[in-house]
Structure 1
Amino acid sequence: MSGHVFVVGADLTRLSCDDVLVPTGRTLRVAASWRDLLPTDLVADEDDTGICVDLEWSGGERVLEVPGSGPRRAWLLDTVDDCGRGLDWLLDGAREALAAVARREVPEPVHGRARRLVGLPALGTGWGGAAGRRGDLLQQLLPVLREAAAEHGFDVALVLRGPSDLAAAQRIRRGESTSWALPDPLRSLADQLGERARRGQLALFIGAGVSAAAGLPTWEQLLDELAGRSGLDDDLRAGLARLPPEDSAALLARELGRDRLQEFVRERFGPGHYALAHALIADLPVQEFVTTNYDPLVELAAADIGRELSVLPYDEPQPGRPWLLKLHGDAAHPESVVLTREEYLQLGDSRAALAGVLHSLLLTRHVLFVGTSMLDDDLVRIAHQVRSAVQGPDREPRHRSGTVLALREDLARARLWEQDVETVAMSRSDTSPAEAARRLEVLLDLIGCLSTPPTGYLLDPAYRGMLSGEERALAEALQDVAARVPEGAQAPSAAGEVAALLRRLGHGRSAGRRHDGAGEPADAASEPHDDRLQQQRPG
């Protein structure tokens, strides 16, 4: 059964996956940014510019498996072309590495994912065999990855950090309609949601199902873990299952004490590896996010591609910066966490202002709900209040204010919410939850591809070979404009605004890249997302 190739902005050392390809050369020196993937006893030498790995090549092999005991395995791939062998040599190395990965037995993918996930960067684009030819590399690497995914049956995540790279890769994929194994209704939905995202009309609501893919507990699992720490006898523990979840949480909070409960939340939901879905969501050109999750994984995924989210209500919102509202509290502020019935009832009191933010989004945006069952009391109350506000006795029914991406078909629940949102199931009831969750990832990948602005690489010399004749003429005209902009021009001057626009189109990116001998940018995070490019409003 064929796998899928995802394109995503992320940090491969923090993305939850089963295997990671790490670029190196014959000296087995890798970039310092890969340090977290290497066992300490294999670090022969280390400084700010790189790490020497204490392994040896055997003959002409190009792939080395890094020994380890954890669920994630790193593989070293020789990508440094000292002999001018070109892209074909580099692509052969990628095939060899993916074949070696396929030979490793993996009884169960990480966190119960339906397929193994293999992550790799844009191989050889530092001092490797594709230096200065990033456009050519992406055009030829993507088909190689698709062939490997089809042959070996695992999923592949091509992880890119720079906005030029992401924009170029998505431009290539938009011309390949067979890259997404989705039924026509989901493709049509992706078109609609991608258009809304491009026009600044989409907001995201993120539920616990997204963080479950990173190994964090769902609501039911959280209560079970708390019960295990509570010391309650067997009869009381059995009785918890018969109580509403908020009341079970209230009893457990009483037994554990607030201090122990807060410490548990801080530890259990602290920083860690984020799931593929977190990265796909953080990549979307969306300015407003809301979550009931306590963890910081969306913020971490966004920060790894240069998008700094203001976390509300704890951070001060800043003009032009995207924000994330923590509706039920934040593990970094465990006193704010909402668990018990009493805390839920406070929504109409001290937390009314937070609920008002979601009210506003449901009135002014199209909200995409991901990873939620729509059973949360807060959501029910907020949806009812919005419905009451917009559907008075003499008013026509308004359009639906959101879309729910449900894992399984549930006709009764879809009918219950049909006045407010459209519910779209990823699968029928006979499909496993893991396969349904994977289809959701594929859908998010397609939405991300369709919503990425097709301009981020226009003035980046590394992608000149991808441009059409019309685009090349436009790029040359814009380069003439760039030559006339005074150096150091800053907004709010006219020259400063033009300079900012040119940077968003890729001007100066390749010239400013710093590389190391591992074949990867030494400072990939120096090319952040520019959210001003994503603030396109309908008009």
Structure 2
Amino acid sequence: MTGHVFVVGADLRRLVCDDVLVPTDRSLRVTPSWRGLLPDDVVTSEDRGGVCLDLRWRGDERVLELPGGRVGDAGRALWLVDTVHQEERDPDDALRWLVDGAREALAAVARREVPDPVQGRARRLVALPALGTGWGGAAGQRGTLLQRLLPVLHEGAAEHGFDVALVLRGPSDLAAAQRVRRAEAGSWDLPGHLRELAEDLGDRARRGQLAAFVGAGVSAAAGLPTWEQLLDELAERSGLDDALRGGLSGLPAQDAAALLARELGREQLEGFVKERFGPGHYALAHALLADLPVQEFVTTNYDPLVELAAADIGRDLSVLPFDDAVPGRPWLLKLHGDAAHPESVVLTREEYLQFGDTRAALAGVLHSLLLTRHVLFVGTSMQDDDLIRIAHQVRSATRAPGAAPRQRSGTVLALLEDPARARLWEQDVQTVAIAPADTPPAEAARLLEVLLDCIGCLSTPPTGYLLDPAYRGMLSAEERALAEALQQVERTVPEGASSSAVGEVTALLRRLGSQVCTPDGPPPDEASAPHDDRLQEQRPG
């Protein structure tokens, strides 16, 4: 069974996966950023320069599994990979040596059996940074490294049957990797209709016409409960007798929640929500969605995983209605409240009714998106009362006398075929089934990730690395001439200038891979992450 290679902007330390490859050297020293993943008993010393590990290489091996099986609160296995050669090498030989190390690491990972992938995923997920671009010496040849590394990752995924996530942090890194993938044949094993859908949605995202709605199904892949599971967990805490607990299943979900809220008390309920849905590790789908060039996100989820995934690639989302919307900054609307503000959470029937009244302004934001954007719905069954009400109101507005016929205002990605539900919503949105009805849900969820990966690649602007010297080798003669002209502009930007004109120009240069910066620093959603694959500096979030 062939695995898939994902390319994603994320923080490797926070991504839900089964295995993580950690770059090191022959002295078995890693940078301090990896410290949170390491058990105390393998650390001999640590300072600002690095963390030394009490382990030993066996002979000339380059891959070493951290002893003790799975480690860390996300249950991931760590693999140390030697990426720092001790001798001076020809650049071409050095790159070959690094790529051979990646091949050896994937083979070593495959020898460890993982019968149950993390969070019920259909395939094991192995995650790694761009090996060798820090102390490994390939920092100035990142384009060539990606061109050689990606085929090796594809070979490993095909041979071993697991999925691989190449995790990058810098916008120029991501743009360059996506360019390499677009030139490769067979990067995505998708049915024809899903490939066509990816091309359509990727084009909409690239032109600024796409918004994203994130439902509970996305966060379930990070171990958070669905609505039904949440009610079960609340029932466990409630102390209701068996007869009452058994009767909960016969009540509508919002009424069951109302009874549980009454039994627990609002204070205890809010404390549970704040703890259960607080910051944690995010799923691959969170990162793939946060990577999209989308400015508007909406969710009914209480958790902060979308905004954490976005922050880890330098996109600072304003969380509405709690933050101010800032011109030019992407935003996320929390339609049903936020665990960081547990008093805002919408859970019971009464709160849903209040939503249609006192919280009408929030519904109006989604109304606007359905009228002015194409909304991509991911991880939702479209059974939420608020979504049904909002869709009805938009339908009524667009079907008014004299109104011109409109295209449907969104696309729902449903895991499995459900003709009746698709027919129910056909006036408002296009429903696309990821897989036939008899497909195991975990397989369908994985195929959804592959689709999101394809959309992300096709929506990534092909110019994000144009002014990054590490990718000069990837440029055509025409692109190099353009880059040289733009670098002349870069050199003429006045140091310390604060005019709006200079701000516009520097923002454009930064989007093209330049590291120029205004006195106050680059806007958070455009900031370039460190290029050192071993440093992986933590972004404030």
User: TM-score, structure 1 length as denominator?
Assistant: 0.94
Match of 1:239, as an amino acid?
Answer: G
The one of 214, 230, 254 aligned to 2:262: 254
What is the 5 A alignment of 1:206-285? 206-285=214-293
Alignment of 1:227-376 (within 5 A): 227-376=235-384
Out of 71, 75, 78, the position equivalent to 1:74 is 78
Cα deviation per residue 1:308-363 (whole Å; 9 max; x = unaligned)?
Answer: 11111111111111110100011111111111100001122111111111011101
Equivalent residues of 2:298, 2:334 under 8 A apart: yes
Residue by residue over 1:69-95, the C-alpha shift from the partner in whole angstroms, topping out at 9 and shown as x without a partner, is 433100000001221241111111101
Which SS does the other structure have where 2:78 is aligned?
A: strand
What letter is aligned with 1:79? T
**Which digits, 9 at most, give the CA deviation of each residue in 1:193-246, with x for residues without a partner?**
111111111101000000000000000111111111111122211111111100
Letter paired with 1:505? L
**Further displaced range: 434-443 or 44-53:** 44-53
Deviations 1:49-70 (A, max 9, x none): 3211111111101011012343
2:168 touches 2:174 (CA, 8 Å); kept in 1?
yes
Write out aligned runs for 1:82-481 (5 A): 82-83=86-87, 84=89, 85-481=93-489
- Give the corresponding residue for 2:47: 47
Separation (CA, whole Å) in 1 of partners of 2:492 and 2:329 = 29
Q: Secondary structure at the match of 2:8?
A: strand
Instruction: State the match for 2:534 in structure 1.
Output: 520
Residue of structure 1 in register with 2:494 after alignment: 486
Counterpart AA for 1:89: W
Cα 1:106/1:491, change in 2 over 3 Å: farther
Distance 1:398 1:234 in 2: 52
Question: 1:503 and 2:516 equivalent?
Answer: no
Which residue identity lines up with residue 416 of structure 1 in the other structure?
A: L
Specify the SS of the correspondent of 1:196.
helix
Work out the CA distance in 1 between the residues paired with 2:219 and 2:330.
20
Contact residue 490 and residue 516 of structure 2 kept, 8 A: no
Question: Secondary structure in 1 aligned to 2:186?
Answer: helix
Contact 2:175 2:462 in 1 (8 A): yes
Aligned equivalent of 1:531: none
1:82 counterpart letter in structure 2: Q
Offset at residue 393 of structure 1 (A): 4.2
Q: Is the 8 A contact 2:335 2:362 kept in 1?
A: yes
Q: What secondary structure is seen at the aligned counterpart in 1 of 2:12?
A: coil
> Per the alignment, in what secondary structure is the counterpart of residue 405 of structure 1?
strand
Letter matched to residue 421 of structure 1 = V
Aligned amino acid, residue 17 of structure 1: C
Q: Which range moves more in the overlay, 63-72 or 21-30?
A: 63-72
Please give the per-residue CA displacement for 1:113-167, whole angstroms capped at 9, x wherever unaligned: 0000000000000110423110010000000000000000000000000011000
**Residues 403 and 121 of structure 1: CA distance in aligned 2, closer, same or farther (over 3 Å):** same
Q: SS at the partner of 1:357?
A: helix
Structure 1 pair 515–316 and aligned structure 2 pair: CA distance change class (3 A): closer
CA distance in 1, matches of 2:319, 2:538: 24
**CA distance in structure 2 between the partners assigned to 1:176 and 1:513 by the alignment:** 26
Mapped to 2, the partners of 1:224 and 1:111 lie a distance apart of 18
Deviation at 1:488, TM superposition (A): 3.1
Could you tell me whether the CA contact under 8 Å between 1:118 and 1:157 is conserved in 2? yes
CA distance in 2, matches of 1:442, 1:13: 21
Gaps of 5+ in 1: 529-539
Shift of 1:521: 4.0
Q: Which residue of 1 aligns with 2:520?
A: none
CA 1:514–1:315 in structure 2 vs 1: closer, same or farther (change >3 Å)? closer
Code of the aligned partner of 1:307: R
Residue aligning to 2:521:
none
1:34 alignment counterpart: 34
CA distance in 1, matches of 2:57, 2:531: 24
The structural deviation recorded for 1:454 is: 0.9
Range 254-263 or range 371-380, more displaced: 254-263
Q: Which moved more, 1:27-36 or 1:369-378?
A: 27-36
Deviation by residue 1:464-489 (Cα, 9 ceiling, x = unmatched): 11011111111112122222222333
Partner-residue secondary structure (3-state), 2:431: strand
1: CA distance, partners of 2:300 / 2:256: 18
Mapped contact 1:162–1:524 kept (Cα < 8 A): no
Equivalent residues of 1:39, 1:68 under 8 A apart: no
Which stretch of structure 1 is more off in the superposition, 40-49 or 404-413? 40-49
How far the C-alpha of 1:259 sits from its partner, in A, is: 1.1
Distance 1:388 1:513, change over 3 A: closer
Deviation at 1:440, TM superposition (A): 0.6
| Counterpart contact for 1:30–1:52, Cα < 8 Å | yes
Q: Which range moved further: 223-232 or 495-504?
A: 495-504
| Partner-residue secondary structure (3-state), 1:133 | helix
Structure 1 CA distance, aligned partners of 2:188 and 2:142?
Answer: 23
Q: Which amino acid aligns with 2:64?
A: L
Q: Any conservation in 1 of the 2:170–2:530 contact (CA below 8 Å)?
A: no
Give the residue type in structure 1 aligned to 2:287: A
Q: SS at 1:178's partner residue?
A: coil
The CA distance in 1 between the partners of 2:49 and 2:360, in whole Å, is 50
Equivalent AA in structure 1 for residue 534 of structure 2: E
Change (3 A) 1:524 1:231: closer
Residue in 2 that maps onto 1:536 = none
Q: Give me the whole-angstrom Cα distance separating, in 2, the residues matched to 1:7 and 1:522.
A: 16
Structure 1 residues 463 and 86: alpha-carbon distance in aligned structure 2, compared to 1, 3 A threshold: same
1:525, CA displacement in angstroms? 5.2
**Distance across 2 between alignment mates of 1:324 and 1:295:** 12
Aligned to 2:297, what secondary structure does the other structure show? strand
In the aligned structure 2, how far is the partner of 1:435 from the partner of 1:515?
34
Do the aligned partners of 1:161 and 1:524 also contact (CA within 8 Å) in 2? no
Three-state SS of the structure 2 residue aligned to 1:419 is coil
Per-residue CA deviation, residues 24-48 of structure 1 (Å, 9 max, x unaligned), is 0011111111112211111111122
SS of the counterpart of 2:298? strand
Instruction: Name the residue aligned to 1:533.
Output: none
Q: Identical aligned pairs, as a percentage?
A: 77
- For residues 507 and 147 of structure 2, the distance between their equivalents in structure 1, rounded to whole angstroms, comes to 28
CA distance in 2, matches of 1:524, 1:192: 34
| Alpha carbons of structure 1 residues 468 and 43: separation in structure 2 relative to 1, 3 Å | same
Per-residue Cα deviation, 1:267-287 (whole angstroms, up to 9, x for no partner): 110111000000000000001
In the alignment, is the contact (CA less than 8 A) between 1:514 and 1:523 conserved in 2? Answer: yes
